[in-house]
Amino acid sequence: MSRLFDRKAMGVRKRDPEYRPILSLTPEERAALNERLDGAPYNVETLHLRLLEDPSKKEYLRAITSSILSAEFAGLDAFGRFLVEWQPLDIPWELTMSVSRQMWDETRHTALNLQLLEHMGGELGVYPDTLASGAPPPGMEVPEPNVDEPAMQLSTINVGLEGFALSLFERTRELAEKVGEPLMEHCHDYNMADEVLHVAHGDWWVAKLTEGDPDKERAARKGQQQFEEIFRVFQESGL
């Protein structure tokens, strides 16, 4: 039997309903999204502020949860791909086990947020996906991922993206407490606890995989910084 890597590596990302990247929306779809949110951009930070101003606006809750759920699907996809794409590389078996556990965590986060969205009267696919590929903002070049460099991928995803998720989950937990959403608060308390470990694992493995090679470590850390800057532009763009 052929290896999973040979049969599945770099396949097309799939989901039911299909991914709908926010950057692929037509002008008409953008106008409908804007109307649904009473003029607020589909941006978690702004939606947090709007919800604090008007806790009765349940649509903001559904939009926030949809955005986070989209990111969880992206995380589940990313770590599943790491398990497959790193098979031909000479990596420690402990790293494979660590990534397997993190994939399970992302699966749980996805299930929690999906059920939370349904509890709020929402449905997967109503809102566009925030991290499901698509073109970068105008003028921004996104470097191609290097599947042959686990240290670089761990630095950008485990430390960069998961570090952002840790902060987001903490703020969302606090928001849910303030607006009287105990189930949302409970879910993100669990999610936040996982992200603490994900960031720590990423830091440890980047150091381990680049041990004795300061140039490689600097490149991995630089990749993290570039990723965080790109992600910041996405978050502030209001797209």
Query: pLDDT (tens digit, 9 = 90+) per residue, 180-235?
Result: 999 999 999 989 999 889 888 888 999 999 999 999 888 888 877 776 676 665 55
The two three-digit tokens of residue 168, written as one number: 């987001």
What pTM, to 2 d.p., does this model score? Answer: 0.86
Nearest to 44 by CA among 70, 22, 64: 64
Q: Among all chains, which residue has been given the structure tokens 């965080």? A: 228
- Ordered by where they begin, the domains of the chain are 22-237 (1.20.1260.10)
pLDDT in tens, 91-148: 899 999 999 999 999 999 999 999 999 999 999 999 999 865 444 445 545 455 555 6
Nearest to 53 by CA among 178, 226, 171: 178
The CA–CA distances, whole Å, from 109 to 3, 36, 104, 147, 224 equal 28, 26, 9, 25, 23
Nearest to 184 by CA among 57, 64, 41: 64
Rounded distance between C-alpha atoms, residue 239 and residue 23, angstroms: 7
Q: Which amino acid is at 122?
A: G
Query: What dihedral do alpha carbons 43, 49, 52, 57 form, nearest 10°?
Result: -40
Triad 22, 118, 64: Cα angle to 5°: 40
pLDDT in tens, 23-54: 888 999 999 999 999 999 898 889 999 999 99
SS3 assignment, position 129 = strand
Pair 44, 67: CB distance under 8 Å: yes
